Amino acid sequence: MGIKLVDETPGIYERGKGMRTSQTQGEGLVPALVLECNVVDVNFVNWTVDVFSAFDQRYFPNIQVASPYVHPNRGEGIYAMPEIMAKCLVAIPSDLGSPPYVIGFVMRMEDKQVPEGEETDSSGGMGPSTFAGNRKRGKPGDIVMKGRDGNFVVLHRGGVLQVGSTSLAQRIYIPLRNLITDVSQNYEHFNMGGAINWGISTGETTAEPETEFRQVFRLFANDIMADARIAIGKVHQPIPEPAGSEGEIEDLNNLGIGTDPDNPIVIEVAIAPQAFNAETGAPNISVAQNGTKMKFFFDQKGGGFLRAEGSLLIRIKEKFKLKADKGIEFESDEDVIFRCRMFKVESESGVRMDIGDGNLRMGAGELDAATVGSAVDLTIPAGTIPGVPNPLTLVGFIRTGRSNVKM
């Protein structure tokens, strides 16, 4: 059979009584026709399609596709760009003055393949064919928009809204408790104040993919770089310590805090002006290493570290208890002062103070305690020595020992 154009179809353009000339004369309409067709070409510029009728291969070029609603005001409306081989219904209007157009699309009939256990009757289904066409099985009242590549919008009956591109990239709005649920494998959020990056880290995929959460903050919205960062998970780019006396590399190595590859840092909070990429959270190492004003982290085994370039004040209204099973060290380049109502030291094996060449002062600390060579008076009470009725005072000198205690 050869291809027929619409104007070759007998009877399609036959008019009843011609053009209407008055309100008493007939309108001259003929019955409208609806043909089942297949889309064979799409004009993306003009929003038209070329179609062939399914049975007698009549050709309809450059016809438009109807939509639930469209308006020429800035293209507002609800519409979709058809694809080649879509099955459609073409209407030929009864007034014959309007061109044909696609009024809708239908699914092709396919052999029915019912999964085991999902039969709808004892015969294994509702007949040997189906029009499902890989559409998502819905519930009565559901409204679904689905793309070929898996992206979708579902208005579920009951008020639930589901929007996504895959099962691992979607957002669900639930009217119960006004809940919003996000499902993702990787999540990024960019804001004038900073950014969030959360998910599986980029790089080689392994049996145990590493995850990380990064959030950065700008101090001012027009800053190019961010000033603060929070990293949680497997922290891949921790802020390195400054070299030498400016950092604590030696003590961290001695204590085994965050320095073992098998004991990575899992939480890090850092403040370093203009040191972080405001989108990815990656640090500018040369700036961050020596420009960090505060850094606080924990490793996987629970070891922790806090370094602050400024003063640090901790105020506690109730009791404060510091307990360590393997010792406590206090170190300062200047004075260490304790102010309290009473200072009490309890020790099971004694108290040792290594004070170098200085003095241990107690109270006003103006007078020296007795040392080697100091004169001492020893008074023996009366009756202590037989035959000596009165108190006896002896004078001597300290021959051994040393004391730098000031009283």
Helix (H) or strand (E) holding 92, with range, is: strand 87-92
| Cβ atoms of 360 and 406 closer than 8 Å | yes
pLDDT number for residue 98: 82
184 has which bridge partners? 169
> From residue 399, how far is each of 39, 368, 377 by CA, in Å?
117, 16, 14
pLDDT number for residue 363: 73
Q: Where are the domains of the chain?
A: 4-106, 111-115+125-184, 205-308, 359-407
CATH code at 4-106: 2.40.50.230
pTM exceeds 0.85 for this model: no
Q: Is the pLDDT of residue 25 over 50?
A: no
173 has which bridge partners? 161, 180
Question: pLDDT tens digit string along 138-190?
Answer: 889 999 999 889 899 999 999 999 999 999 999 999 999 999 999 999 999 99
Q: Is the pLDDT of residue 243 over 80?
A: yes
pLDDT number for residue 377: 81
- Tokens 């002896």 belong to 394
Q: What is the 3-class SS of 384-401, one letter each residue?
A: CCCCCCCCEEEEEECCCC
Sign of the Cα pseudo-torsion (134, 136, 139, 141, in order): negative
Question: pLDDT tens digit string along 55-99?
Answer: 889 999 999 999 999 999 988 999 999 999 999 999 999 876 789
Both tokens assigned to 224: 């190019």
> CA end-to-end span of the chain, whole Å?
124
pLDDT tier for residue 204 given thresholds of 50, 70 and 90: low
> From residue 161, how far is each of 117, 164, 239, 372 by CA, in Å?
29, 10, 42, 91
87 has which bridge partners? 38
Sign of the Cα pseudo-torsion (125, 129, 131, 134, in order): positive
Average pLDDT of the residues of the chain: 85
pLDDT number for residue 191: 94
Q: Is the pLDDT of residue 10 over 50?
A: no
User: Residues of 366-402 as b/e, b for ≥16 C-beta within 10 angstroms?
Assistant: eeeeeeeeeeeeeeeeeeeeeeeeeeeeeeeeeeeee
> From residue 120, how far is each of 14, 111, 125, 126, 317 by CA, in Å?
48, 16, 5, 7, 69
**Percentage of the chain exceeding pLDDT 70:** 85
pLDDT number for residue 19: 47
Q: For residue 208, what are the contacts with CB-CB under 8 A and spacing of at least 6? A: none
| Cβ atoms of 212 and 201 closer than 8 Å | yes
Q: Is the pLDDT of residue 297 over 50?
A: yes
Q: Is the pLDDT of residue 106 over 90?
A: yes
Minimal CA–CA distance to 288: which of 267, 309, 303, 311? Answer: 309
**Residue 253 DSSP class:** H
